[in-house]
Amino acid sequence: MSLNDRCTWPVLTADQWSDLKGELLGALHTKPVYQLYGKAGLGTTSFPAVDKPIGKTVRYYDRTEKHDVTDYDWEQYLRFADELVR
């Protein structure tokens, strides 16, 4: 599999410009497309706990840090990529 087969979706709780609901809905509505290829969607319709990523094929997480690409984001991206190759 390649990274193009899956996506990760970070959202920022403390960012006043973030649209938590809209971004969760965006991740949820990828499900029909992934199902065409025999893959799962996000797998839930509820908001995850802060700093607790959810999903396998489509991953969504809400974090508390500033608006930036942080070490936490890189940890999530690398964990996600690692799961792709296992």
pLDDT of 47 higher than 60 = yes
Give the global pTM: 0.73
pLDDT of 2 higher than 60 = no
pLDDT of residue 5: 44
Return the C-alpha torsion angle 43, 44, 48, 51, nearest 10: 10
pLDDT of 34 higher than 50 = yes
Mean pLDDT across 63-86 = 85
Instruction: Read off the pLDDT band of 4 (50, 70, 90).
Output: very low
Mean predicted lDDT score pLDDT of the chain: 80
